[in-house]
Amino acid sequence: MTRLRAYVALTKPRIIELLLITTLPAMFLASRGLPRPWLVAATLIGGTASAAGANTLNCYIDRDIDARMRRTRRRPLVKDEVSALETLIFGLFLVAGSTLWLGFLINWLASLLALFACAFYIFGYSLVLKRRTAQNVVWGGIAGCMPVLVGWTAVTGRLALAPFALFGVVFFWTPPHTWALAMRFREDYAEAGVPMLPVVAAERTVTGRILCYAWLTIGCSLLIWPPGRPGLLAYLGVAAVLGVLFLREAYRLHGQVQAGATGVALRPMRLFHWSNAYLALLFLAVAVSPLLR
């Protein structure tokens, strides 16, 4: 049972939850209503396995960093609950299996998009960006945006302009979400030698950029146009309210920094947790709005 828990932990289930939150609403929007249940189940199973494989391989690559950070030093590979070779094989199996699953049961475009997300997360982010630039989560976040395209193409079999508004929301949402976490664990990242923005820049610079990306996130959220007037109006109302609340938290953090607050007094995790809620509620509105006719 301990081994099973260790393998599950390697996949980082909480991150997978966020990816599924963005995949399913994209399917509702593409279907202009309820997508076929079997298609939803097959896509979510394949998407879960794909993300789990990428996360597992990230644990393999980052095992040296994880051992030096308090936040991650209890991960299975660091604690020797599984070996590095077992982790590598498990991750490759999940990526390969999910690629074939999505290709044969859904379509090969969705499969290739999921594979690209895995490859970009593993090679682009984990091996290159994360350890070399403070822009790591900006461009590395592209991998986390791909599930909306996977969900859309699972339904339609092709790409279109519409899902790129959803892509933009996730892309611009990722930096403020991650930087808030990095502000809380700044010493951890510094100890591990990871140049997260809060490690290499002043707090005022960090919160200023958080504000910019928060505004861009909200701008993209207002470009999403669900079908049908009732659905569109309901969605825009929800998106506006959520956007105001998101901005309130971002401005609160920025204001505290400008006032000279530091350390625990800043409470950046408030913004981190609210950003999770913002994304979940916004994409719930995306899923529900096509049903309002």
* CATH code assigned at 146: 1.10.357.140
Residue 153 shares a structural domain with residue 182 = no
Residue 188: give the domain boundaries. Answer: 161-293
Say yes or no: 12 and 133 in one domain. Answer: yes
Q: State how far the Cα of 152 lies from the Cα of 159, in Å rounded to an integer.
A: 7
Q: Are residues 283 and 178 in the same domain?
A: yes
Last residue of one domain, picked from the residues 158, 184, 214: 158
> Of 143, 158, 173, which marks where a domain is finished?
158
Please tell me whether residues 230 and 130 are part of one structural domain.
Answer: no
Number of domains comprising the chain: 2
User: In the predicted model, what is the mean pLDDT of residues 77-90?
Assistant: 94
User: Does residue 260 have a pLDDT over 80?
Assistant: no
pLDDT above 80 (res 91): yes
185-231, pLDDT tens digit by residue?
Answer: 999 999 999 999 999 999 999 999 999 999 999 999 999 988 877 88
Closest CA to 215 of 277, 281, 169: 169
Kindly report the number of other CB atoms within 10 A of residue 252's CB atom.
16
Q: Please, what is the angle between helix 13-31 and helix 142-156, to 10°?
A: 40
Both tokens of 250, joined, read: 């971002």
| Encoded tokens for 286 | 């995306």
- CA pair distance 182, 164, nearest whole angstrom: 27
Q: Where are the beta strands (DSSP E) in 34-109?
A: none
Q: Do 141 and 168 lie in a common domain?
A: no
Measuring CA to CA, which residue among 40, 12, 37 is closest to residue 26?
40
* Full-model pTM: 0.95
| 69 vs 15: CA distance, rounded Å | 18
**Domain finish residue from 135, 158, 181:** 158
146 and 31 share one domain: yes
| Beta carbons within 10 angstroms of residue 185's beta carbon | 20
